[in-house]
Structure 1
């Protein structure tokens, strides 16, 4: 079967990724992303469901959209969560751009997929949308044995290295981060009640981070780092959610302790020493411990 023209292929691939990872596809989402009519969106869905992945989507009045069949398998994508993440990220402030082929002179470093599975992501997204709760089988570094946890998720987060879900933990009675790769089997809905996500102060409060070149660098090296990171007056000011402070510093490879700062090659940046005390409560991920 000959492939459709580029713009049509982008829309068909978006249909597949949304269906596969979210478990629900609605025409208004395609209309908003691609600037197309409802008729065109419906036509694209029908085309995908007849020509490219026959009978893989079923219209569900309950969700006012389409849901994937039990045996749904992607045919226009590789089934990697990074593909879905890229698609969603492209929608933040511009129309869907080139996501099928990279420019021949440009490439990126392949990051691990962290074993995020669509059946897990679907249930988490559904619970986030509906303010629901889930029973999950989970393992953490402090408790590596698989055990049942009850969580009430409100947001999926991609840190650049891994996916986690921000959720109320009914065991710890606090909002925690749960790695998607450490959730076993498909989460099950339950009736547990949790505080509103608006009470997650770590998520809604913001904190200021000040990054500087590693103080152990030479003046010439500091100048290079300042140029690399666009640091006016030798500082980089960031404002982030307190729950994401630790992940932000990881992305910048910024040293947060004197011991880390001694490893200059690993940490060309460091957190301003005066900021360390105020940020200590936010510098370690909870990982549902």
Structure 2
């Protein structure tokens, strides 16, 4: 990457040059209307941005005079580092600044429908409470105990792939728990600070970091393809994850967490090589095939 070439530029200039770089890298072309539509700049401003990009990275961009458009140079090397999650988000959802609430994907892309989506008017005060580190009173609907009034101290949002929940200290149970955002009603921030024992550094499940070793499922005949799918450098992939979300992630990734890799089904392409790494993890029961180790079975 050559970001040092643009370090002296203003933030807005770098943002526009990064967009030019992105369009050339992933779309193969860019025109003045693309910049004008994205940033609201005048045609003359778009021309200056393209000229500046061409001055900094001339090998990256070529002008197609017949079509009046700039195309990717044959010796193209990205000027900026484009993070994979942002690239995939832009390609599938587009660039959305939140002003008009609408955004179009840059390429044809199909993504799974979101069945469990938090309401913005509930999510917003919860996010404020996380940022301000203050308690919030809520009405919560639990599968086990029904509706109840609670005061919680949230400190993180978690996307499990199936739902969004918050990790928080629950003053009712006096412990750290997960709360599905869709089950929260009437959140109200309290004008007080969280107590010392309610903060995230006291959440053992949150602060404990596990290293999970995932390998191609032993029942598969072509493990080399699985290693290719997950960009494994060797025979396995090692993932560092918080204990508080480990079970959710193994469920999301459809990892066989049984001790004898006994789960059947095409969805199980990975196996957790050592399921004892989940010992003491409260949500380990969510991991496919995981069972609690029997105490004293070797005695």
Q: Deviation of residue 103 (structure 1)?
A: 2.8
Q: Deviation of residue 161 (structure 1)?
A: 2.7
Superposed, which structure 2 residues align to 1:76-91 within 5 Å? 90=86
Structure-1-length-normalised TM-score? 0.59
Looking at structure 2, the residues matched to 163 and 107 of structure 1 have their Cα atoms a distance apart, in angstroms, of 23
Looking at structure 2, the residues matched to 277 and 128 of structure 1 have their Cα atoms a distance apart, in angstroms, of 28
Partner of 1:268: 269
Looking at structure 2, the residues matched to 267 and 259 of structure 1 have their Cα atoms a distance apart, in angstroms, of 13
Give ranges in structure 2 of 5+ residues lacking alignment. 1-34, 41-84, 97-102, 287-299
Partner of 2:95: 98
Q: 1:265 to 1:6 in 2, by over 3 A?
A: same
Looking at structure 2, the residues matched to 111 and 259 of structure 1 have their Cα atoms a distance apart, in angstroms, of 34
Whether the 8 Å contact between 2:211 and 2:240 is mirrored in structure 1 is yes
Partner of 1:209: 212
Q: Deviation of residue 262 (structure 1)?
A: 1.8
Q: Deviation of residue 193 (structure 1)?
A: 4.6
Partner of 2:199: 196
SS at match of 2:165: strand
Q: CA RMSD in A?
A: 3.0
Partner of 2:136: 134
Whether the 8 Å contact between 1:261 and 1:270 is mirrored in structure 2 is no
Partner of 1:107: 109
Q: 1:140 to 1:129 in 2, by over 3 A?
A: same
Q: Deviation of residue 97 (structure 1)?
A: 7.0
Partner of 2:69: none
Q: Deviation of residue 167 (structure 1)?
A: 0.5
- How many pairs were matched up? 195
Structure-2-length-normalised TM-score? 0.57
- Report whether the alignment pairs 1:8 with 2:9: no
Give ranges in structure 1 of 5+ residues lacking alignment. 10-88
Q: Deviation of residue 98 (structure 1)?
A: 3.1
Partner of 2:187: 187
Looking at structure 1, the residues matched to 279 and 171 of structure 2 have their Cα atoms a distance apart, in angstroms, of 28
Whether the 8 Å contact between 1:245 and 1:283 is mirrored in structure 2 is yes
Q: 1:181 to 1:261 in 2, by over 3 A?
A: farther
Whether the 8 Å contact between 2:130 and 2:154 is mirrored in structure 1 is yes
Q: Deviations over 1:101-159 (max 9, x none)?
A: 2233x41323325141112111111111222111211122323x222222111111223
SS at match of 2:118: coil
Q: Deviations over 1:50-81 (max 9, x none)?
A: xxxxxxxxxxxxxxxxxxxxxxxxxxxxxxxx
Q: 1:261 to 1:235 in 2, by over 3 A?
A: same
